[in-house]
């Protein structure tokens, strides 16, 4: 494997010295970029996920266009449950992806099987290999998975939203919930190992719906399984864990042995770093990128000044929003790259 020209992200994650704070942006390969939209206009979302040539192309776009310090493979968290037997449908303008066979009870668990990381998800390994080849060592590549709870939420509910049926199952039938979460944790491990073997340098676990749970349920039904995954992967595979909306449990999240902890924008990052006692990633308010360059500079500086020096990966506190002006994203990246701790 070619040595990386820019290994800042890995240096921070491994606790080695880095001359400045690296930056990447959640959903950086996405709808704010005209170059992404041009490809998206010709192909539906799932086709893009399943076509290594297309996935690889949009993965590299933000490296070229806005200059981020890492690429993250273009894919979707729901392709793993799809490979496990869920019927995934994404229809244009119909309110997000959905599963037509939601799991609502113990019996319907039988429709779920272990994913075949060879045949069923080969397109993702191929996309990663192609992307690593094309990046040619410019920046590291990040792979990812949804957390067991976040995947569970979609699989039980069948669609996005408030996930009331998924949450209700935790109260009503915890043993079935634990059974499905165990299956998901096992599959997430294989899935992330596959991405590592194909060439991903780091992986991130997106626990996007953590904040739908009260703290006790989060720790029992979400964090516990993320911890299992981290234990199965570390130290060979560095793992970033991002449980959005679960700041109430930052101490617990920080203690599971992840390489870094993602932080949303509803907490000062200095406080998050102290509480998690770990490398932190985040946490600029994505709405700031709709303000002017002076406001962006001030906001970014506040994050950089509060974050622990050398233990911080700059990012937004949530995915970048469609409609974000590209010039503002570039201004943010340039500013973070130019900033040095005093």
- Active site members: 27, 31, 40, 76, 154
Q: Is 265 in the site for a copy of itself (CB under 8 A)?
A: yes
Using CB under 8 A as the binding rule, the residues of this chain from 200 to 259 that contact a copy of itself are 211, 213-216, 245, 247-248
CB-wise, 36 or 218, nearer to a copy of itself?
Answer: 218
d(CA 211, CA 132): 34
CB-wise, 163 or 191, nearer to a copy of itself?
Answer: 163
Q: Which of 42, 110, 171, 235 binds a copy of itself (CB under 8 A)?
A: 171
CB-wise, 247 or 278, nearer to a copy of itself?
Answer: 247
d(CA 151, CA 329): 30
195-to-173, 188, 190, 216 alpha-carbon distances in Å:
33, 10, 9, 31
182, 225 Cβ separation under 8 angstroms: yes
CB-wise, 191 or 206, nearer to a copy of itself?
Answer: 206
Q: Which of 165, 178, 179, 186 binds a copy of itself (CB under 8 A)?
A: 165
260, 315 Cβ separation under 8 angstroms: no
Provide the minimum distance between the beta carbon of 237 and a copy of itself in the complex, in angstroms, as a whole number. 30
Q: Which of 37, 89, 164, 327 binds a copy of itself (CB under 8 A)?
A: 164
Q: Which of 60, 194, 286, 335 binds a copy of itself (CB under 8 A)?
A: 286
Return the number of other C-beta atoms located less than 10 Å from residue 227's C-beta: 19
Q: 188: closest CA among 220, 232, 219, 157? A: 232
Using CB under 8 A as the binding rule, the residues of this chain from 74 to 133 that contact a copy of itself are none
Provide the minimum distance between the beta carbon of 332 and a copy of itself in the complex, in angstroms, as a whole number. 13
Going 255 to 261 to 262 to 268, the CA torsion angle's sign is positive
In the chain, beta strands by DSSP E:
71-72, 88-89, 98-99, 141-146, 202-207, 239-243, 260-262, 280-284, 312-316
Q: Which of 34, 96, 137, 292 binds a copy of itself (CB under 8 A)?
A: 292
Site string for a copy of itself, 302-331 (x = CB under 8 A): -------------------x-x--------
- Mark the segment that binds a copy of itself (CB under 8 A) among 45-53, 125-133, 156-164, 196-204: 156-164
303, 269 Cβ separation under 8 angstroms: yes
261-to-279, 282, 304, 339 alpha-carbon distances in Å:
6, 9, 16, 22
Query: How far is CA 287 from its chain centroid?
Result: 19
143-to-77, 150, 188, 194, 322 alpha-carbon distances in Å:
11, 17, 12, 10, 22
Q: Which of 76, 219, 285, 334 binds a copy of itself (CB under 8 A)?
A: 285
Provide the minimum distance between the beta carbon of 186 and a copy of itself in the complex, in angstroms, as a whole number. 26
Alpha helices in 122-173 (DSSP H): 122-135, 148-157, 164-172
CB-wise, 177 or 189, nearer to a copy of itself?
Answer: 177
Residues engaged in binding a copy of itself (CB under 8 A): 162-169, 171-172, 211, 213-216, 245, 247-248, 265-268, 285-292, 295, 298-299, 321, 323
């Amino acid at each position: 494997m070619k040595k990386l020209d820019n290994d800042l992200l890995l240096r921070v994650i491994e606790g080695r010295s880095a001359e400045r704070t690296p930056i990447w942006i959640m959903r950086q390969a996405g709808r704010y970029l005209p170059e992404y939209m041009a490809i998206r206009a010709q192909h539906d979302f799932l086709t893009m996920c399943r076509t290594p040539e297309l996935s690889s192309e949009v993965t590299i776009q933000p490296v070229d266009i806005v200059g981020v310090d890492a690429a993250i493979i273009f894919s979707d968290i729901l392709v793993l449950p799809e490979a496990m037997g869920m019927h995934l449908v994404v229809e244009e303008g119909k309110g997000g992806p959905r599963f037509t066979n939601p799991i609502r009870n113990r019996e319907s668990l039988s429709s779920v099987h272990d994913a075949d990381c060879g045949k069923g998800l080969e397109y993702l390994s191929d996309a990663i290999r192609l992307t690593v080849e094309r990046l040619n060592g410019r920046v590291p590549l990040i792979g990812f998975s949804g957390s067991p709870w976040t995947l569970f939420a979609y699989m039980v509910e069948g669609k996005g939203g408030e996930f009331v049926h998924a949450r209700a199952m935790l109260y009503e039938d915890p043993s079935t919930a634990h059974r499905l979460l165990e299956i998901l944790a096992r599959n997430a491990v294989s899935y992330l190992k596959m991405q590592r073997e194909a060439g991903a340098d780091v992986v991130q676990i997106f626990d996007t719906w953590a904040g739908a749970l009260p703290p006790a349920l989060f720790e029992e039904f979400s964090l516990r399984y993320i911890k299992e995954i981290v234990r199965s992967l570390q130290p060979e595979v560095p793992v970033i864990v991002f449980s959005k909306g679960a700041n109430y449990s930052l101490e617990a999240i920080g203690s599971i042995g992840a390489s870094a902890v993602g932080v949303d924008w509803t907490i000062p990052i200095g406080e998050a770093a102290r509480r998690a006692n770990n490398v932190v990633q985040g946490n600029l308010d994505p709405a700031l990128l709709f303000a002017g360059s002076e406001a962006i500079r001030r906001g970014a500086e506040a994050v950089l000044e509060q974050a622990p020096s050398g233990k911080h990966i700059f990012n937004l506190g949530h995915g970048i929003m469609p409609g974000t002006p590209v010039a503002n994203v570039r201004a943010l990246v340039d500013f973070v790259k130019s900033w040095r701790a005093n």
